């Protein structure tokens, strides 16, 4: 129900309604130059009420974003992911300040993405946008807003800040694998971990979390079903996502080398105390082996072995679907997005091969 009154030459509209519990609510707005403008405001408000919109709720967007994170995301995230959200909450608070959720439209949000993208790489912008988009969907479900202001937004980013993905050529990967294999001994755990990464493409925490019952020596497989928390020392944790649980086929040589570590083959394969900076110790060992192998890759680190594994499989003509499953990605689109650089490179090589074959027709 709407009422209108004129005060000091300006019109005011007041809309009254009762909620599901019968409680009376009112919302008013003054300052309209004409009664027609006041009626239009009241009609729009009543239309939103008819759609189930909570017109009395209009939180500060930054506050809503933080509360949404704490309610729907924080309880289910690993520590690294929590840190990403925490950083993005600070960004939202800084840019949006006290701006109310209902006052944000698509053009304002697009300008935010444009401004933020000037100083950030594609991946950083994409992550922040994805988080805000999920939050806005929650606001729609809560009936606070009726339009998705993140819809159809164009990505904007600083291409000069893009990280170049370091990986090894086939020859370099073979040289590294030989150097590491020649230096294996039960007291040199980093060497074994590097070798597992070369042959499986598994993540650092996944390799640390391997137990002997994850290995099937007869089927020649390694089961990835957990991780080891080397950051906060909480022991075993779930994999990065449910899709990261997977079984990887490996070669006999790797399995025979792992057998050197434990005669009983019980418990964790890499039974080490992950004291602070253990990952740095492994990365230092990797730098040493790269140097011995005559490989100069300044930005190369342990996770680069995962990239090298993918590059090698692509070079050998392994299907992208099989690679995606081996990496533990939810779908091929994730793999193609992450490794677009590799895929484009091998596509060019394939195109050259196709052209050369067509010339022989």
| Mean confidence (pLDDT) of the chain | 86
Is 178 found in the same domain as 91? no
Is 314 found in the same domain as 287? yes
If DSSP states are collapsed to H, E and C, what string results for the chain? CEEEEEECCEEEEEEEEECCCCCEEEEEEEEECCHHHHHHHHHHHHHHHHCCCCCCCCCEHHHHHHHHHHHHHHHHCCHHHHHHHHHHHHHHHHHHCCCEHHHCCHHHHHHHHHHHHCCCCHHHHHHHHHHHHHHHHHHHHCCCCCCCCCCCCCCCCCHHHCCCCCCCCHHHHHHHHHHHHCCCCCCCHHHHHHHHHHHHCCCHHHHHCCEHHHEECCCCEEEECCEEECCCCCEEECCCCHHHCEEEECCHHHHHHHHHHCCCCCCECCCCCCCCCHHHHHHHHHHHHHHHCCCCCCCCCCCHHHHHHHHHHHHCCCCHHHHHHHHCCCCHHHHHHHCHHHHHHHHHHHHHHHHHHHCCC
- The total number of structural domains that make up the chain: 3
Query: How much is the pLDDT for 192?
Result: 96
* 161, 186, 211 - which closes a domain: 161
Q: What is the pLDDT of residues 189-244, one digit of tens each?
A: 999 999 999 999 999 999 999 999 999 999 999 999 999 988 777 889 888 888 89
* 284 within a domain of the structure (yes/no): yes
Is 256 found in the same domain as 127? no
More confident residue, 167 or 116: 116
Is 224 found in the same domain as 344? yes
Q: What is the CATH number of the domain that holds 122?
A: 1.10.150.130
* 77 within a domain of the structure (yes/no): yes
Q: List the single range of 73-82, 89-98, 221-230, 266-275 with lowest mean pLDDT.
A: 266-275
Q: What is the pLDDT of residues 102-114, one digit of tens each?
A: 899 999 999 999 9
Is 96 found in the same domain as 38? no
* 302 within a domain of the structure (yes/no): yes
* 360 within a domain of the structure (yes/no): no
Is 198 found in the same domain as 135? no
Q: What is the CATH number of the domain that holds 229?
A: 1.10.443.10
Is 174 found in the same domain as 157? no
Is 207 found in the same domain as 347? yes
Is 78 found in the same domain as 10? no
* 361 within a domain of the structure (yes/no): no
Is 316 found in the same domain as 292? yes
* 105 within a domain of the structure (yes/no): yes
Q: In 3D, which of 194, 154, 207 has the Cα closest to residue 288?
A: 194
Q: What is the pLDDT of residues 294-334, one digit of tens each?
A: 999 888 999 999 989 988 888 888 888 898 999 988 887 77
* 141, 161, 181 - which closes a domain: 161
For 81, 119, 126, 157, 222, the CA distances from 160, given in Å and listed in that order, are 25, 9, 16, 9, 39
The boundaries of the domain holding residue 17 are 2-50
Is 342 found in the same domain as 203? yes
Query: How much is the pLDDT for 44?
Result: 80
């Amino acid at each position: 129900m709407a009422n209108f009154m004129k005060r000091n030459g300006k019109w005011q509209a007041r809309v009254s309604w009762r909620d599901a519990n019968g409680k009376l609510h009112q919302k008013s707005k003054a300052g309209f130059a004409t009664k027609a403008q006041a009626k239009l405001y009241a009609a729009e408000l009543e239309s939103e009420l008819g759609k189930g919109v909570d017109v009395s709720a209009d939180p500060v967007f930054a506050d809503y974003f933080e509360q949404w994170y704490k309610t729907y995301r924080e309880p289910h995230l690993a520590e690294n992911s929590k840190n990403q959200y925490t950083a993005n909450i600070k960004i939202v608070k800084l840019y949006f300040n006290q701006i109310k959720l209902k006052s944000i439209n698509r053009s304002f949000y697009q300008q935010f993405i444009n401004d933020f993208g000037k100083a950030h790489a594609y991946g950083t912008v994409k992550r922040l946008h994805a988080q805000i988009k999920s939050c806005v969907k929650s606001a729609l479900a809560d009936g606070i807003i009726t339009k998705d202001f993140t819809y159809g937004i164009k990505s904007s980013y600083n291409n000069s800040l893009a990280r170049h993905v370091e990986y090894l050529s086939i020859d370099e990967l073979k040289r590294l694998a030989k150097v590491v294999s020649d230096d294996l001994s039960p007291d040199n755990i980093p060497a074994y971990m590097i070798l597992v990464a070369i042959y499986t493409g598994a993540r650092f925490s996944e390799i640390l979390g391997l137990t002997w019952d994850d290995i099937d020596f007869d089927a020649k497989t390694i089961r990835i079903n957990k991780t080891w928390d080397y950051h906060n020392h909480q022991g075993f944790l779930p994999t990065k996502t449910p899709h990261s649980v997977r079984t990887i086929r490996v070669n006999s040589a790797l399995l025979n080398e792992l057998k050197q570590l434990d005669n009983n083959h019980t418990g964790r394969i890499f039974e080490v105390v992950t004291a602070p900076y253990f990952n740095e110790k492994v990365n230092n060992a990797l730098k040493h082996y790269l140097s011995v192998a005559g490989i100069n890759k300044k930005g190369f680190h342990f996770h680069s072995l995962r990239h090298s594994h993918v590059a090698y499989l692509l070079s050998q003509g392994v299907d992208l679907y099989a690679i995606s499953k081996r990496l533990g990605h939810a779908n091929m689109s994730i793999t193609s997005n992450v490794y677009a650089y590799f895929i484009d490179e091998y596509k060019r090589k394939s195109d050259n091969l196709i052209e050369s074959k067509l010339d022989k027709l």
